[in-house]
Chains A and B, each alone.
Chain A
Amino acid sequence: MRFDVQVEITPREGISDPEGQTIERALPILGFGGVSRVRTGKLITFEIDADDVVAARTIVDDMCERFLSNPVIEDAFARISDVAAVG
């Protein structure tokens, strides 16, 4: 089976996020008040072949842990869904 995967990578809670802080400081200057706790991250999407969703989850978790994120400073969150059957 083929699965759609979306991996969100964000700085760990408690780890500073210089990009988020800079955006947060810029927003009021542009007139967007009342914004707090800005956090940035990255989104990685791909498709993967696996026997079932459990197998896909195992592979994706390993991928996140060893390569897609750096667990010292980042958290990874993966969404896995069936690729919609084509026509």
Chain B
Amino acid sequence: MTNVGVIVFPGTNCEMDAVSAVETAGGVAEFIWHGEKNLGDVDAVIVPGGFAHGDYLRSGAIARFSPVMEAVVRFAAEGGPVLGICNGFQVLAEAGLVPGALQKNAGLKFVCKPVKLMVESTSNVVSTQYELGQELTIPINHFEGNYTVDSKTLHELEDNKQVFLRYVDNPNGSVASIAGVSNRAGNVVGLMPHPERASNTLLGSADGLPMFVSLLTNSFVAS
């Protein structure tokens, strides 16, 4: 069965929800403490949400130097699928695994609500179960989700179909309403919305579940 490693930093708080979503999607998951230097026998990696290392200095700035991140960088370089959610997205951005940076929301408001999203790409590891232009309702829960890139990088993202999700109504000032992006190869994806909190109709939406199904489908065994 496909085994997903869920990274846990001091201050991570969405790891149980991520495991639950993986199990709902038909996989198994294990926690990997941030001090580990190896990922062990995993086929995919999730960096879940929270406040890794208290978000001191900048969100994700200290987490990216945790020992486990070297292993995540190696795994990603070999083509392993990596999904970063919310604070996990911030960690991946600080580590340079996905382009751009997340800064404070426009209007300086912490925003916690379900939002409508548009699927803009179906070619990365978490998007293959969706259709282009599909509308999803998934909650966001962040203060620093204002996605920022320079215009040159933005053009590259658009040209390479690296924009995965866009907000229908931009809640935080993100450039081009971007809610989620992938790396060039499509095996590393970061997004601010919480698909694990929309993985069961009991939670109000199951629109996020196909991301986990897709992640399992596109999982990877390192050579």
Contacts and interface: CB of A to CB of B under 8 A. Distances in A.
Interface of A: 11, 14-16, 18-19, 21-22, 67-68, 70, 72-73
A18 B103 contact: yes
A18 B146 contact: yes
Majority DSSP secondary structure for residues of B touching A: loop
Contact of A70 (B101, B106, B108, B146): B101
B95 to A, nearest CB: 11
A73 B108 contact: no
B105 A18 contact: yes
Contact of B149 (A11, A21, A72): A72
A68 B58 CA distance: 9
B53 to A, nearest CB: 12
Contacts of A16: 103, 106, 146, 148, 173
Contacts, number: 39
Interface in B4-57: 57
Interface in B48-72: 57-58, 61, 65
B94 A18 contact: no
A76 B123 CA distance: 37
10 tightest A-B contacts by CB?
Answer: A72-B101, A73-B101, A18-B104, A18-B106, A22-B108, A18-B108, A70-B101, A73-B148, A73-B103, A70-B58
